[in-house]
Amino acid sequence: MAIRKVDYLLIGGGLASANCARWLREEGAEGEILLVGREPDAPYNRPECSKGYLRGEESREEPLFRPGEWWVEQQIELLTRTSVTSLDIEARTAKLSSKEEVQFGKALIATGANVRRLNVDGCHLEQIHYLRTLGNADAIRASVEDAKNVVLIGGSYIGCEVAASMTMLGKKAMIVMQEERTLERGFGKQAGRFVEELLQDHGVSIHGEDELERFEGEGNVAKVVTRAGLEIEADAVVIGAGVAPDTGLAQRAGLEIGEKGGVRCSSRLESSATDVWAAGDICEYESVLHGEHVRIEHWDVAFNHGKTAALNMLGKDVAHEVAPYFYSVLGDWGELEYVGPAKDWDEEILRGSYDDGEFTTWYLKDGQVKAALTFGRSDDLDHARRLLTEKPVLDASQRAALGDVDSDLSA
Ligand SMILES: Cc1cc2nc3c(=O)[nH]c(=O)nc-3n(C[C@H](O)[C@H](O)[C@H](O)COP(=O)(O)OP(=O)(O)OC[C@H]3O[C@@H](n4cnc5c(N)ncnc54)[C@H](O)[C@@H]3O)c2cc1C
């Protein structure tokens, strides 16, 4: 088959690729843009999979990055249900699962992440789910229609959000997790306890410092058995045990992989190969803000990476300097927002109060703000972004001001 030629090949049908395509056109790229994604849907906002879409409040179209006609108007060719199976960096060619071969000028690799699977006894029973795609969300919704008890394995944001969504659907949700407190790995025990109490107040049961031992049932899952010996009735199970960057294609192509398991990139998001960029969950980039290479699995990071990669593909030579932002929505009970991430910290300063359900927690290391988490105080995040970017070492009175809701942080 003849090789077809494109100027820009965007590999992966997620947000990072989609926003890269958008910014290529917005910044005047005139050549051919081809976006190849293996899912059946056009690029969509994955976070909806655990929120409104999971609860059946949104149509299949609502989470889409852009409606179908937008791709046509922008003259961006979108191939869904198609994988890039190999990439030859020297020859600048890619093979597709459709058997087509594509010659590209510049490429973006944004293949995202895959869920970590737990290989325990009973893991092949029916009604045990992972959650990454709209299709997974459909399967979970169908599975819980007649369910009473839904067990979530994992206490990170997927477990918490799905527990909230299941509760809103009238199910009894139970979380089993290794941590003592929900979300404590990212936000510490105090904020973790706040989230946990919020979930418990709405009826979610939480079993911390425990672990999945096995599933029991015949055909369908019926029971979750934990290492501590708990036996929990389950009509359906959703596992949220983290993800691993999908770097198989990148590795086979010989791209350098970093210490955090992602495609190692410069601050401009260019990989070890000239004219091949990476973005989103797989991108391990040299962060000007953090002073080291980081890899961050957040929606907003994928979104902004897409733009930075596009600008650099067009020769603008810009470093990726956006402070990483994360949000997590717990049903209609409230929203956590965060900038960071802080790898470790030696001080937490609380502005507001966990008891009142309105707070910002500042995470500091050696007197510098490394991250901030807020619930109901979004305005504080602008200050957090400034402190993360300017990196001042705060003295005692400045640290006291962070904790005082009446102090003006912009001063
Ligand atoms: C249920 C859920 C809820 C989330 N909620 C939040 C949230 O509230 N807040 C937040 O900040 N983040 C959230 N996230 C994380 C966020 O969605 C991701 O960080 C973001 O989607 C990453 O975008 P990406 O484009 O890098 O990768 P992905 O969205 O994973 O997209 C990559 C795409 O590439 C495809 N692909 C892989 N290999 C190939 C190949 N060889 N050829 C063609 N296509 C390929 C994949 O199938 C996939 O469609 C959530 C994630 C999930 C799963």
391: CA distance to ligand 1 center in Å?
30
d(CA 404, CA 37): 48
CA of 401 to the centre of ligand 1 (A): 38
Q: Are 83 and 36 in contact (CB under 8 A)?
A: yes
Give the pair of three-digit tokens for residue 104.
Answer: 């590209």
Distance CA 368, CA 344 (A): 12
CA distances from 127 to 93, 201, 220, 363 (A): 41, 27, 6, 39
Ligand 1 pocket at CB < 6 A: 11-17, 36-39, 46-47, 49-50, 83-84, 110-113, 131-132, 158, 246, 249, 280-281, 297-300, 302, 326-328
In 3D space, the residue among 175, 142, 226, 223 whose CA is nearest the CA of residue 330 turns out to be 175
Residue pair 243/158 in contact by the 8 Å Cβ criterion:
no
Q: Once rounded to an integer, what is the mean pLDDT over residues 68-80?
A: 98
Is the pLDDT at 84 greater than 70? The verdict is: yes
Query: What pLDDT is recorded for position 1?
Result: 62
Q: What is the pLDDT of residue 410?
A: 82
pLDDT at 411: 67
Contacts of 61 (CB under 8 A, 6+ apart): 67
Q: Which of 19, 15, 17 is nearest to 27 (CA)?
A: 19
Average pLDDT over residues 126-139: 98
Residue nearest to atom 35 of ligand 1 (CA): 12
Band (2; pLDDT cuts 50, 70, 90): low
Enumerate the H helices of 45-93 as residue ranges: 68-73
For the stretch 157-205, pLDDT in tens is: 999 999 999 999 999 999 999 999 999 999 999 999 999 999 999 999 9
Residue 155, helix vs strand vs coil: coil
- List pLDDT tens digits, range 226-275: 999 999 999 999 999 999 999 999 999 999 999 999 999 999 999 999 99
81 token code pair = 């249900």
